[in-house]
């Protein structure tokens, strides 16, 4: 006799890329139990990364900060609503949500996690922040449920009419602006890159979020080169659809680059201090359990190519820029030559 379908809550109170790389958990559960109720809990402003995801029934978006009274209302709303909660996030906040919301809660803990916070878990695993790719690491939680991992990252999706944006030829998508300085290439390098890569009947499309700094950054590039600037005009699901129809995508270490990889399109990712072993974009249709990337990847994996500045022996340092804070820039990225990036793209296109 088949067991009754269960109600699951996946809790990911981190950034867009973290949420996206946790979607194989939902896909694995859905493949195991097509009738299961699978909900997601994220922070407000990040729910767009799950737009159109067929594995998810409902997305619960809670504010990062609120009043004590409103927080209590959240807890009452979540209280024991689910059979099982899972969280790839090792934080006290996530552990509290998991404990409140489900009869059984599985997650991660760190070496510094307090005994009280660790006790909120029905069972847990030690978090590995260095040696295991996030997709593989997150799905280790499925071992508690005896569910086989699917390894499928599901991008957001919302179909749009591309002719509305004057896209009439082959085009490439560039997402030039990451959230943090230490992941940033220079604006001058992006302009130089576009000037050198553009060909007849090849359109350049810029994407970006609704953040004013990001919109202004893309507007400055647009003022210097011929391109279609869609920064601030599309949802994440629409961006994913746009990318999926492109010739290829180029971007820094950011959530949209992970989306691009998940669409199956050729994805060129500019990496500096970030450890690709843990955070490299997950290649489309990669189902292996062995490490996808090493610290110095130089070959294309399925549809993903990671480009690093090989002139720096410290790459990847794993730090937030050369001055070890999010306002700092990274010399390895700032000095990455345009010609080197273009040569790597042509190599990838020839494969």
pLDDT digits (tens, 9 = 90+) for 4-43: 689 999 999 999 999 999 999 999 999 999 999 999 999 9
Any domain includes 68: yes
Beta-carbon contacts of 4 under 8 Å, excluding residues fewer than 6 positions away, are: none
First to last CA, the chain: 50
Whether cis (ω within 30° of 0) applies to the bond prior to 316 is yes
d(CA 25, CA 142): 7
Question: pTM (2 decimals)?
Answer: 0.96
157 found inside a domain: no
Residue 142 to residue 229: CA distance in whole angstroms:
41
Q: Please name the residue ranges forming H helices in 49-156.
A: 68-78, 92-101, 115-118, 134-139
Q: What is the dihedral of CA 93, 98, 99, 104, to 10 degrees?
A: -160
Residue-wise pLDDT tens digits, 40-75: 999 999 999 999 999 999 999 999 999 999 999 999
Kindly state whether residues 312 and 216 are assigned to the same domain.
yes
Domains: count for the chain: 2
Picking from 85, 114, 144, the residue at the C-terminal end of a domain is 144
Residues 129 and 175 in one domain: no
Q: What is the mean pLDDT of the chain?
A: 96
CA 327 to chain centre: 21
With respect to residue 152, please indicate whether it lies within any of the assigned structural domains: no
The confidence score (pLDDT) of residue 50 equals 98
116 and 251 inside one domain: no
- For the four alpha carbons of 291, 293, 294 and 295, in that order, the dihedral sign comes to negative
Residue 3 scores a pLDDT above 80: no
Examine residue 253 and state whether it is found in any structural domain, yes or no.
Answer: yes
Locate 21 and state its tokens. 């790389």
CATH number, domain with residue 128 = 3.40.50.2000
Residues 132, 228, single domain; the answer is no
Same domain, 39 and 183: no
| Owning domain of residue 116 | 7-144
pLDDT at 1: 39
Residue among 38, 37, 42 nearest 11 (CA): 42
pLDDT per position as a tens digit, 134-148: 999 999 999 999 999
> Which tens digit of pLDDT belongs to each residue from 274-297?
999 999 999 999 988 788 999 999
Residue 2 is predicted with a pLDDT of 52
Summarize the confidence of residues 167-177 as an average pLDDT. Answer: 94
Residue 150 located in a structural domain: no
């Amino acid at each position: 006799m088949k067991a009754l379908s269960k109600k699951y809550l996946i809790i990911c109170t981190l950034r867009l890329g973290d949420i996206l790389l946790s979607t194989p958990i939902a896909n694995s559960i859905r493949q195991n139990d097509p009738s299961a109720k699978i909900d997601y809990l994220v922070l407000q402003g990040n729910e767009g990364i799950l737009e159109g995801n067929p594995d998810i029934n409902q997305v619960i978006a809670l504010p990062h900060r609120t009043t004590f009274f409103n927080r209590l209302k959240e807890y009452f709303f979540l209280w024991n609503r689910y059979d099982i909660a899972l969280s790839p996030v090792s934080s006290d906040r996530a552990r509290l949500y998991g404990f409140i919301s489900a009869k059984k809660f599985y997650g991660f803990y760190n070496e510094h996690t307090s005994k009280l916070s660790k006790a909120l878990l029905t069972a847990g695993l030690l978090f590995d922040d260095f040696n295991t790719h996030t997709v593989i690491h997150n799905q280790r939680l499925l071992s508690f449920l005896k569910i086989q991992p699917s390894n499928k990252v599901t991008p957001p999706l919302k179909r749009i009419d591309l002719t509305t944006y004057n896209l009439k030829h082959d085009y490439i998508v560039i997402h030039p602006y990451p959230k943090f300085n230490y992941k940033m290439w220079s604006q001058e390098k992006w302009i130089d890159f576009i000037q050198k890569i553009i060909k007849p009947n090849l359109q350049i499309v810029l994407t970006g979020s609704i953040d004013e700094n990001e919109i202004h950054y893309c507007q400055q590039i647009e003022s210097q080169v011929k391109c279609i600037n869609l920064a601030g005009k599309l949802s994440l699901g629409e961006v994913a659809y746009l990318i999926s129809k492109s010739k290829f995508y180029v971007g820094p270490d950011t959530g949209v680059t992970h989306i691009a990889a998940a669409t199956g399109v050729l994805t060129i990712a500019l990496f500096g201090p970030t450890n690709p072993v843990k955070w490299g974009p997950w290649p489309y249709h990669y189902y292996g359990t062995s490490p996808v990337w090493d610290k110095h990847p130089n070959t294309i994996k399925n549809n993903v190519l990671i480009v690093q500045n090989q002139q720096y022996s410290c790459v990847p340092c794993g730090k937030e820029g050369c001055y070890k804070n999010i306002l700092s820039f990274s010399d390895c990225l700032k000095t990455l030559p345009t010609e080197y990036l273009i040569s790597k793209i042509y190599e990838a296109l020839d494969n």
